[in-house]
Amino acid sequence: MATATPTITNGVNVTQLVDTIELIKKDPSLARFRFRSRTRWEQGGRCVTEISGFYGAGAEATRARTHTLAGDEPPVLLGSDTAPNAVEAVLHALAACISVGYVYNAAARGITIHSLRFDAEGELDLHAFLGLSEDTRPGFERITFTATVKADAPRAKLEELCEYVQRTSPVLDIIRNPVPVSIRLVSE
């Protein structure tokens, strides 16, 4: 029996996307994922994070290779500037997540994207981080985000897509809504 040729839009296998949604409808437990990372401090403001395995789709999964992400600070913040700092990484995570949301959901709707760019900017005040204020928030006070898209769809469809992506973005949800975080200290 011949296998049907998958539909590919924006580099996304739409056939597989639809099949995945159908599988999750039949077995909702397949939608549960647990992602992990391990970060080691190197020196000064620099650290390196390794990401290799995760749990998802009902099983433990190992990536083909371990991914590494580095973090550092610019010299004005006493770093060596060998990598983006953590708050810049948050902007990247947000843009990467929204990018996937745009591309996958556009593909599912039959919209071809020709170009897509996100410009993000976050503002924060170092007073809390430096221990100079208990009244100042240590994180971003605001994030501004601009999406520039060229696609085969009318503006109204792109606005609808933009609203949908905002409602369904995991990283945007993490930023907008409090997430319980527990930190356990282990001495070596």
Residue 92 lies in a domain: yes
Residue 141 lies in a domain: yes
pLDDT of residue 1: 56
List C-alpha distances in Å: 93 to 6, 88, 99.
29, 9, 10
Residue 142 lies in a domain: yes
CB of 71 closer than 8 Å to CB of 47: yes
Residue 99 lies in a domain: yes
pLDDT of residue 65: 96
Which residue stretches of the chain have pLDDT < 50?
Answer: none
**What is the token pair recorded at 66?**
């371990």
pLDDT of residue 2: 56
| Domain range for 136 | 84-177
pLDDT of residue 78: 95
pLDDT of residue 4: 78
Residue 25 lies in a domain: no
In total, how many domains does the chain have? 1
CATH of the domain at 147: 3.30.300.20
Residue 1 lies in a domain: no
Residue 114 lies in a domain: yes
